[in-house]
Every structure is written in C-alpha cells, then in structure tokens.
Amino acid sequence: MQSQLEDIARRFGADTATLHVLEGDVLVLKAHVGLPPHVAEIVRVVPIGKGMAGLAAERNEPVSSCNIQTDKTGDVRPGAKATGVNGAVAVPARDAEGRIKGVLGIAVQREYEYGPDETTRLMDEATRLVTSS
C-alpha cells in the first residue's frame, strides 16, 4: 500500500497523502506520505465522523477544503492543521457494493480546490487500493 500511495501522491502532485482502512468502527492509518511523525501518530486511528477522513467515511462522500489552515467548517481537525498543508481532499474508498472500506486523502502546500474530475479519479484510485489488498 505504501508504494501505491507514493505513486498516487506523485501523480496528483500531492505534498502529503494518507490511506486509512476501516477496521471495525474506526479508520486505521495503513500508509502515509509527507506526514511529520507526530501528525502520523495523531491520525493513526480516526473515529468515524471526526476530521476530514472520518467525515468522508461517515458521509460516504468526499470532504475537501481549499485551505485547511483557515477552514471554519469544523471538518478540519487540529491534526490536519499541524501538517501545514492547505488544499486537501479526503475521499471514500468503496467496495463493489458502495460500502466504505477506507479513506484516501491528499493535500498540497498551496490553496487549492480539487475539481470533480480529480476527485472522481482519486476515488477510483482509493477503491483500487483497498480492494487490491
């Protein structure tokens, strides 16, 4: 999963990337790119409904912010802000029946809004990651 995530980060021009897999009722970090060690520890286990990854799993839809440093929606948690990145998106990884299996997140240092085409491509990547493992 790590090398696949690194490839996704490179292709999408992401400065950070995370892959969480659903285990029971929490998301568990399985691979990451560009996270400082203390942030990786903070997001090692994410409850459903907490932060961008947890909300993407709960809603079964993408959650994004063009600037997580100034986000006022409540979707962004302190752990995400500690990465120092700005534009971010977390997308659900689904099985063939549409059930959540995990969440893939990417972010860049600059303000950036991920468009529908990018988000769809990222969701396809997320599904391939969790169903191929």
Q: What is the distance between the alpha carbons of residues 74 and 22, in angstroms, rounded to a whole number? A: 22
Q: Is 104 exposed, middle or buried (0-12, 13-18, 19+ CB in 10 A)?
A: buried
Which token pair is 93? Answer: 């990884």
CATH number of the domain that residue 41 is part of: 3.30.450.40
Whose tokens are 């191929």? That residue is 132
Q: What is the distance between the alpha carbons of residues 73 and 8, in angstroms, rounded to a whole number? A: 27
The domain in which residue 51 lies consists of 2-131
Q: Would you give per-residue pLDDT tens digits along the chain (133 residues)?
A: 999 999 999 999 999 999 999 999 999 999 999 998 988 998 999 999 988 899 999 999 999 765 455 555 655 555 555 565 567 899 999 998 999 999 999 988 877 788 999 999 999 999 998 887 6
* The total number of structural domains that make up the chain: 1
